Amino acid sequence: MLKSIKSCLFYSLLLLATTEMRAVDSVEHSDPDKEKLGLTLSGGAARGLAQIGVLHIIDSLGIELDYLSGTSMGAIVGGMYVSGYSAREIEEMALRTNWSTLFSSEVNLEFIHPVNRRETGKYLFSRPFEDGRLKFETGALEGQQLWNQLSTNFLHVSHIRDFNDLPIPFACVATDLETGEAVVLKGGKISKAIRASMAVPAVFTAVEIDGKKLIDGGVSNNFPVDVAYEMGADKVLGVNVARGLRSADQLRNPLDVILQVGFFSDAKTFASNKEKATWFLDIPLEGIDANDFDEVEKIIELGKREARKNLELFEEIAASQADRKTEHFTTKPAGVKYKLRSIEFRGLESVSEEMARQAFPLKEGDKATSSQVLRAVRILYATGLFDRIYVFAEKREEENTDLVIDLLEKSLVRVGGLLGYNDHIGVWIGGGIQLENPIWNNTQAEGRLHIGENPTLLGRKRFFLDDHRSNWITAEIEGSLIRFPYEGHSQPVDYRRTLFKTSLEYSSLRGRDSYWSVNIGRRMQKLSQRNNADVNINGWINGWKVGVKWERYTLDRHAFPTKGQDLYFSLSHHFGYRHNLSLKKEGYEDPELRDLGLSMIKYQNLHAKWLEYVPLSDKYTAHFLIEFASLIDHQQGFITSYNIGGYRPVVDRQLTMLGLREYQFMDNSYLSGRIGIQRALGERFFASVMMQAGSWGFSLIPILPSEWPHHDFVLGWGISLGYLSRIGPVETTFSYSPEMGRLVGYVNLGWSF
């Protein structure tokens, strides 16, 4: 399914261009007395990359095009060509593109507000809730990153409303979702037209233009030779990479079936258009599937090879233009700065224009390149207020540009679901609700619930104090139920812990990736002993805390990241503890806490973590973890201590260690270091080898001795195999510690909180 989605996403390669782009100053005009030449490029997903090879021959022979028509992939390649990109530049873009990043619905965390990054993208599904029901879009992907790059890469021609005024007159084909009829787009906003032409049904959301919802033009006219003639061409070179309808045994998944049914009607028009073409070039791509974006270089080379085989055809076209008189258009580099004469925000409803202007870093009168406009759009998107942002120039006069920011606000209410499994906390199914601007503007609210063997719940309300969202206040309540073993008494005991935490926190951004906070909160915990032993502890304990913390989260994705940091520091003071614990201990008639070595005096909690991923090559990533934690003056024993063990933190106050199970040890202090190498096995599979060393049982400030045994130092080794699935990471880890003398297996599926 993922690979099929890739086949619809070629246009995104055009978005990551870093080469200099040519902006058009004046248009090329052919001699009106000469025959007009049209070029038609078909749709074909990854196979369509071969058409870049044809453009290379056209460039090298100096063939001048008078018209260009295209559908889907052909619209993408052709649109870039008529906008000033050369075949060489388009090829370089294709070769440099990181397809594994582009071919997913994952959100680029870099452009999400730092306070929301850790939780973004963890729902299995998330849908708007409007008018008392879930709202489903016309496709699975909207693709804000793609919109960003499309709009900015076409910014130099986005003011041209009639595609006949481009250096080469251009038209692309989309399909009316309501009628199934072909819609020829010859004007408007070129990036939006191209986005409509490639909106594969059920994969990409439809694009609304002139009141019509448009999807992929391949459904109705995948090889629009007729359109080139309608534009005014006398002769047309038609290039085809599509394979037509496939046999039933070649349809391997539901998306294949959707595409097959969708292109039934086009099969009827293809034969007619093939006959109309003056020259027809069919590029055979044996062994290349529409999804094979990992074969970019090979596909382009096959296109070049086929064009060279048909060199006589292209030489015939070039010879027919030998006496053509042409006024060439001039160009200027894309790095030119456009003066923003005006900035208009469209589509605002619940979000105020003042807030949007405050969040958008460019102001009227500024000079900016297209890349600076792109950065500004990403900053605006990071506010979390919009589902889609589209940028274009309404008008350009020399360097003066009237910029339009077209916005689609997020629904006020979104509902999500998720499921997962972890060896320690078992199976869970969960759901959540997210509200944007509930009751007051510039606020967020969220509620989540996991139901399973160890249920959890979370409620949160956040108030932003300025339009930049650089300062905010968060009120939060969190509850969980966990079962854990404890071997610190003379006999093993199974406990069930019910935990509630409430907090009120003030936070402030520091740069674009980090923030600090001050907080006050209350911690309430109930212990229930599930078996009889020589020591029994049951009942409630609760107390207050005040603290500070600092966070920086720049990982490129939550699971199996390839670069970035996860840094965390917190220091809190815990005080005012009260309890109604029921205590029993053999040999004591009415035991007190001190008889168990426990006391409810105040203590401090210091916790620091440094996790970093460093790319070594395209396939290899090194990762490092250093973690330190200490409960200073802590005398509450296992009731509120750290639990040491496990590979991924899934419960409160857990510190990970290879070779140990969760709750293998419980202590007041911990220091560990881990190093590993991660290798990508394809696009979604990963393997890691790791080594970790940990020490606990030390103290920075002398405290009363605890009852449980201390193991001062332990080593651990581990290997991990993972798959980045639709529902989150699927991961199996095997680790071993010589001190423990046993192999520990660990399985995790999906996300927890």
What per-residue confidence (pLDDT) applies to 105?
56
**163: amino acid identity, one letter:** F
The reported pLDDT for the residue numbered 182 is 94
Report which of 25, 114, 88 is spatially closest to residue 464, judged by C-alpha positions. Answer: 114
Q: Cα(241)–Cα(463) distance, rounded to whole angstroms?
A: 53
Q: Which residues pair with 734 in a beta bridge?
A: 719, 745
Place of tokens 């460019």: 362
Name the residue with tokens 């027809």: 280
Q: What is the pLDDT of residue 13?
A: 36
Question: Alpha-carbon dihedral of residues 54, 59, 62, 67, nearest 10 degrees?
Answer: 70
Report the relative pairing of strands 620-632 and 603-615 from DSSP bridges.
Answer: antiparallel
In the chain, the percentage of residues whose pLDDT exceeds 90 is 53
CA 208, distance to chain mean position in Å, is 24
> Would you state the pLDDT for residue 250?
66
Classify burial at 311, counting beta carbons within 10 Å of its beta carbon; exposed 0-12, middle 13-18, buried 19 or more. exposed
> What's the rounded mean pLDDT across residues 419-431?
85
CB–CB of 474/505 below 8 Å?
yes
Say how far residue 116 (Cα) sits from the centre of its chain: 13
Tell me the C-alpha to C-alpha distance, in Å, between residue 636 and each of 162, 497, 652. Answer: 75, 15, 16
Asked whether the predicted pLDDT for residue 127 surpasses 70, the reply is: yes
| Cα–Cα distance for residue pair 420/406, rounded to 1 Å | 38
Residue 437 has pLDDT above 70, yes or no: yes
Contact 363, 340 (CB under 8 A): yes
Q: Which two tokens stand for residue 708?
A: 């449980």
Tokens matching residue 688: 């890691």
Q: Give dist(CA 467, CA 469) in Å, integer.
A: 5
Does the pLDDT at position 367 exceed 90? yes
Whether the CB-CB separation of 507 and 476 falls below 8 Å is answered with no
Q: Which residues contact 501 (CB under 8 A, 6 or more apart)?
A: 476, 477, 478, 479, 521, 522, 523, 524, 652
When pLDDT is averaged across residues 274-294 and rounded to a whole number, the result is 89
H or E stretch including 79? helix 73-82
Confidence band for 96, pLDDT divided at 50, 70 and 90: confident
Q: Residue 284: pLDDT above 50?
A: yes
Which residue ranges form the domains of the chain, and what is each CATH number?
37-108+159-321 (3.40.1090.10), 337-409 (3.10.20.310), 477-715 (2.40.160.50)
For 246, other C-beta atoms within 10 Å of its C-beta total 14
Q: Cβ–Cβ contacts within 10 Å for residue 347, how many?
A: 16
Contact 352, 412 (CB under 8 A): no
464-492 confidence digits (pLDDT tens): 998 778 999 999 999 999 988 887 666 78
Q: Is the pTM of this model over 0.85?
A: no
Mean local confidence (pLDDT), 710-736: 87
Query: Could you tell me which residue, 597 or 268, shows the higher pLDDT?
Result: 597
Question: What is the model's pLDDT at position 626?
Answer: 97
What are φ and ψ of residue 402, in 5° steps?
Answer: -95, 105
Is a pLDDT exceeding 90 seen at residue 732? yes
pLDDT of residue 140: 61
Q: Which of 443-452, 480-489, 565-574, 619-628 is least confident?
A: 480-489
Q: How far apart are CA 8 and CA 736, in angstroms?
A: 44
Map 27-51 to HEC letters: CCECCCCCCCEEEEECCCHHHHHHH
The tens digit of pLDDT for each residue in 660-686 reads 999 888 999 999 999 999 999 987 899
Could you tell me how many helices (H) and strands (E) the chain has, helices first? 14, 38
Token duo for residue 366? 């500024």
The one-letter amino acid code at 560 reads F
